[in-house]
Amino acid sequence: MVDALKQRATARGEKVSALESVLDLVANDEAEIAIDYLIDTADAFRLPVRQDECDRLLSAAAQLDYADAVTDIDPTLFLLAPAVIGDRGPPTTRSAPAESAVTADASTAPGAP
């Protein structure tokens, strides 16, 4: 997910160094802090998040009993379809994940195949 967000930022001509910190936090076994930081960074830099990325983030956070943090992400950043790198058009948004999806794994989350 970090690589995808970095690509989206690069496509807009931005470099978001804060995303490297997320990787460092994960490498140092600070996954809960990494989730918070990733969400804060996506919000601050207005980086869109695809549905499959959100599902993976929800699943990882649920395994850490930290899924409520994922609901802090700005719902206007969620994309219905995978983003096209370099597409500068406005993102298609969906509503925030349902509360029941917060504790569901990716295979039972809304929108899962």
pLDDT at 102: 33
pLDDT at 72: 74
Name 58's Cβ contacts closer than 8 Å, sequence gap at least 6.
67, 70, 97, 101, 102, 104, 106, 109
pLDDT at 90: 42
* 78: number of Cβ within 10 Å: 21
pLDDT at 27: 92
Mean pLDDT by 10 residues, the chain (113 residues): 93 93 92 90 90 87 81 73 45 39 37 44
In a domain, 79, yes or no: yes
- List the domain range (segments joined by +) for residue 64: 2-103
In a domain, 75, yes or no: yes
Q: How far apart are CA 34 and CA 32, in angstroms?
A: 5
Indicate the number of domains in the chain.
Answer: 1
pLDDT at 80: 53
In a domain, 38, yes or no: yes
